[in-house]
Amino acid sequence: VPRPGKRGSGPAAGINVVAVFGAGLMGSGIAQVAAQAGYTVNLADVSDKAVQNGMKIIARSVARVAKKVAPGQEDEYVKTVLGNLRPTTDPSVAVGNAEIVIESIVENIELKQNLMAALDKHAKPDSIFATNTSALLVKEVSEKCPAARKARFGGLHFFNPVPVMRLVEVIRSDTMEDAAYDRLFEFGESLGKVAVKCKDTPGFIVNRILAAYNREATMVVERGDASFEDVDKAMELGAGYPMGPFKLFDYVGLDTCNLIGMSWAIRAAQGLVPESMVDPPSNMIPELVEEGHFGRKTGRGFYDYSKEKNKLR
Ligand code: 3HC
């Protein structure tokens, strides 16, 4: 059987066990690519239901990957990768033996800070902590951890769908030691991703640039210049994007996009990004979220997915 992680360089030196906290779309994707690269992965969430849902997402996705990397030996590949995963709801079990601890829970600063401070107490002193935050700063997420952990605390920002998108942004906070950053970078590459370096700034590289693009997309529609369907067609066929902005909102999840939008407003109020990034505000995503439409995962967002068999794709 081809080694899981064939598309990566395999486990990084001294790292055997990875803990991923948060079994949603992103967290399960991160756990999957780590398991594919040959790591033992403790996948944790607060409830059995959430963890099992994450395992289901992974099983579906690994089957798609297997067709590509292990033709003719798909079943064995899937079995090996799934065998590397250890689902759990116990934080001490999740992080106790891990060399890398990644959080990928909801974009809520207090929840993230409290989770990381709690995990710090169960983790090995020298394990590296990383946040997959989309729009918060690494230094904010690490705030309630002791200084020794802050020295080993960085950002590892993945893109949806994690098993497909080749990039990982590796974020260095001001408090992070060089050796820990270098290890985190090496770990990112070992997952078969292309890693880029970025400072701890709002939105890092991709989301900072996407924010301006997404905002203009909603404004074109709100001004009545074009329909959202036509904006999508235009950006796909005229600019070569794999998905237009509205399909991408639905794909990422409108709940997540909404939280990201709110965090830009906070950044602007703090003077960290220009007011022009958020003013005038767009109501398109907040209104859909208010109505309970979160995109593909709920069957409806800008588009209707209720007739599609696999809403998560
Ligand atoms: N798991 C495994 N494989 C998957 C997959 C998944 N979840 N989703 C798609 N694939 C594979 C398919 O099997 C297919 O493989 P093949 O080429 O060997 O047949 C390939 O990917 C292409 O998939 P599809 O044919 O189903 O559809 P598309 O060609 O439209 O590709 C897409 C789907 C990769 C999602 C593409 O549309 C895309 O790149 N979209 C843009 C995604 C993007 O911009 N993501 C970043 C969002 S921002 C973000 O995540 C940051 C965060 O902070 C919010």
Phi, psi of 272 (to 5 degrees): -85, -25
pLDDT (tens digit, 9 = 90+) per residue, 168-214? 999 999 999 999 999 999 999 999 999 999 999 999 999 999 999 99
The count of domains in the chain is: 2
The residue out of 165, 199, 233 marking a domain boundary is 199
How far away, in angstroms, is 162 Cα from ligand 1 center? Answer: 8
The CATH number that applies at residue 22 is 3.40.50.720
Query: Is the domain of 104 the same as that of 235?
Result: no
Query: Is the domain of 162 the same as that of 21?
Result: yes
Query: Is the domain of 163 the same as that of 35?
Result: yes
Query: Is the domain of 138 the same as that of 212?
Result: no
Query: Is the domain of 174 the same as that of 220?
Result: no
How far away, in angstroms, is 142 Cα from ligand 1 center? Answer: 31
pLDDT of res. 309: 64
Threshold 0.95, pTM exceeds: no
Q: Residue 78 domain-assigned?
A: yes
Q: Residue 137 domain-assigned?
A: yes
Q: 3-state class of 21 per DSSP?
A: strand
pLDDT (tens digit, 9 = 90+) per residue, 243-293? 999 999 999 999 999 998 998 999 999 999 999 889 888 999 999 999 999
pLDDT (tens digit, 9 = 90+) per residue, 112-132? 999 999 999 999 999 999 999
pLDDT of res. 310: 55
Q: Residue 304 domain-assigned?
A: no
Q: Confidence class of residue 1 from pLDDT cuts 50, 70 and 90? A: very low
Number of helices followed by number of strands (H, E) in the chain:
13, 8
The residue out of 199, 218, 237 marking a domain boundary is 199
Q: Residue 46 domain-assigned?
A: yes
Query: Is the domain of 133 the same as that of 164?
Result: yes
Q: Residue 121 domain-assigned?
A: yes
How far away, in angstroms, is 161 Cα from ligand 1 center? Answer: 5
Average of pLDDT values for 216-231?
A: 97
Q: 3-state class of 308 per DSSP?
A: coil
More confidently predicted of 8 and 145: 145
The CATH number that applies at residue 249 is 1.10.1040.10
pLDDT of res. 135: 85
User: How many CB atoms sit inside 10 A of residue 142's CB?
Assistant: 29
DSSP 8-state code for residue 297: G
Query: Is the domain of 219 the same as that of 193?
Result: no
Query: Is the domain of 194 the same as that of 211?
Result: no
d(CA 214, CA 278): 11
**Peptide bond connecting 281 to the previous residue in cis, omega within 30 degrees of 0:** no
Query: Is the domain of 279 the same as that of 152?
Result: no
Q: Residue 232 domain-assigned?
A: yes
Residue 28 burial class via C-beta count within 10 angstroms: exposed 0-12, middle 13-18, buried 19 and up = buried
Query: Is the domain of 165 the same as that of 219?
Result: no
Q: Residue 305 domain-assigned?
A: no
pLDDT of res. 180: 97
pLDDT (tens digit, 9 = 90+) per residue, 73-83? 999 999 999 99
Q: What share of the chain is helix, strand, coil (3-state, %, to 5)?
A: 50, 15, 40
User: How many CB atoms sit inside 10 A of residue 178's CB?
Assistant: 9
Ligand 1-lining residues (CB < 6 angstroms): 61, 64-65, 68, 134, 159-161, 163-165, 207, 242-243, 248, 252, 256, 313
pLDDT above 80 for 58: yes
The answer for 209, left when phi > 0, alpha when psi is -120 to 50, beta otherwise, is alpha
Query: Is the domain of 192 the same as that of 234?
Result: no
**Do 254 and 294 form a contact (C-beta atoms < 8 A)?**
yes
User: Which domain range does residue 293 map to?
Assistant: 207-298
Q: Residue 307 domain-assigned?
A: no
